[in-house]
Structure 1
Amino acid sequence: MKIRFLLLILFICTLLVSACGQKKIENEVTWPIKDFSATTQDNKPYGLKDLKGKVSITAFIFTSCADVCPPMTSNMAKIQKKVKAEGLKDVEFVSFSVDPTVDSPEVLTKYGKQFGVDFKNWTFLTGYSQEFIEEYAGKNFKTIVKKPEEGNQVIHQVYLYLVDKDGNIKKTYNGYQNVPFDEIMNDIKALQ
């Protein structure tokens, strides 16, 4: 009887210690993403179902961006390399174009190649209207996307979004400057 009791106590202590070591995401949110219909850089259909069961890092960019998008894409490429180096599975990278009339699948492919992205787990999206991406970004990602009537630049924010396996945004990060690479990697692992 004493042995069973001691084993039970040992088992409970083991559970408590292991629970204390679990990684948590600080300041996490739960913003569900609604389904969408887009076209990939490979000219294939893509929607939320393609992300189910995977953790993803998402950004809003456009290929003719004069300032923030190249560093954002470069920073995402660094995260992609870290994910690969650590052998993490089921992690996707998604870049929504905020200038879909300019960013055709071919243009997005060329853009991605400039940053050495691995298209096996990074998808660039287009194939929707300007009105759609402006509304979708605002309602689902709580971010601004607006293409002025004049000029070729699109107003958008520089966040990277961590999305869980069920399609919920869990956290946002600055994707342009002072990117918290270690924090992002820890948060990805916490969702695995």
Structure 2
Amino acid sequence: MRRKLLLPYVLLVVLVLTACSGPGGFKADFEYQIEPFEFTNQHSEKVSLDDLQGQVWLAQFIFTKCTSVCPPMMMNMVELEARLADASVEEYKLVSFSVDPVEDTPQVLQEYLDIFDVKDQSKWEMLTGYTQEYISQFATKSFKTLVIDDPNSDQVTHDTKFFLVNQQGQLVKMYSGNVDVPYEQIVKDMKALIKEGA
């Protein structure tokens, strides 16, 4: 009699735990919708939010004249690309928004990308083609982060996070992109998110 009563309870617990784990094992921290955009990449091609729909992408804010955090962020993103390749993760994009769009022309962004030991440049979208004011408000609205131009120098203050965006164009997680980068967690999250959308 006791076994008969216990079996439905065990099945209920298993059902609840399975539901909590979610499909693919991915759990978003939030779901902030990225506002529509159409910018220009390092090949002088137009890239829009619609172009990225259906793909998982990891974003960052950088600029080529940056003398502090941007080179380490780029190297960390390159390291992440290598780890994604080692984990056989393929369907994704790495998107860099320039916070110095006047200086960072498509040619300058391509030359900057060439400095780094990138495995597959087709994964990378180095974006520009907007005003300084626009990228500041875009960063705040879509990525909940600040981009502040310094009128007294050629430097721009910006966040050092990596931003994970899902197939629906929603920001779902943020990670440190400068120091103590959680590579394993990012790879795990991207792999799970891609599997979830497959």
Same structural fold, with TM-score higher than 0.5 when normalized by the shorter chain: yes
Cα deviation code 1:128-153 (max 9, x no counterpart): 11111000001110101011212100
Checking the alignment, whether the CA contact within 8 Å between 1:100 and 1:127 is kept in structure 2 is yes
Q: Name 1:152's counterpart in structure 2.
A: 154
Tell me if 1:190 matches 2:189. no
Equivalents in 2 of 1:189, 1:84: separation in Å? 11
Match of 1:173 among 160, 169, 175: 175
Tell me if 1:77 matches 2:89. no
Equivalents in 2 of 1:146, 1:189: separation in Å? 33
Equivalents in 1 of 2:188, 2:39: separation in Å? 30
Q: Name 1:3's counterpart in structure 2.
A: none
Equivalents in 1 of 2:90, 2:170: separation in Å? 18
Q: Name 2:136's counterpart in structure 1.
A: 134
Checking the alignment, whether the CA contact within 8 Å between 2:35 and 2:141 is kept in structure 1 is no
- The TM-score with structure 2 as length reference comes to 0.85
Cα deviation code 1:27-79 (max 9, x no counterpart): 61101101112100000111101111110010000001001000011111111
Cα deviation code 1:95-126 (max 9, x no counterpart): 00000000011110111111122221111000
| Runs of 4+, deviation exceeding 6 Å | none
Equivalents in 1 of 2:47, 2:152: separation in Å? 30
Partner SS, residue 120 of structure 1: helix
Shift of 1:18: 7.1
Checking the alignment, whether the CA contact within 8 Å between 2:62 and 2:99 is kept in structure 1 is yes
Shift of 1:23: 1.9
Equivalents in 2 of 1:133, 1:57: separation in Å? 17
* Unmatched segments (≥5 aa) in structure 1: 1-8
Q: Name 2:165's counterpart in structure 1.
A: 163
Q: Name 1:40's counterpart in structure 2.
A: 41
Q: Name 1:6's counterpart in structure 2.
A: none
Q: Name 1:57's counterpart in structure 2.
A: 58
Q: Which amino acid aligns with 2:104?
A: D
Q: Which amino acid aligns with 1:74?
A: M
Partner SS, residue 121 of structure 2: coil
Equivalents in 2 of 1:80, 1:153: separation in Å? 27
Q: Which amino acid aligns with 1:156?
A: H
Q: State the Cα RMSD in Å.
A: 2.0
Partner SS, residue 78 of structure 1: helix
Equivalents in 2 of 1:66, 1:186: separation in Å? 31
Equivalents in 2 of 1:92, 1:137: separation in Å? 18
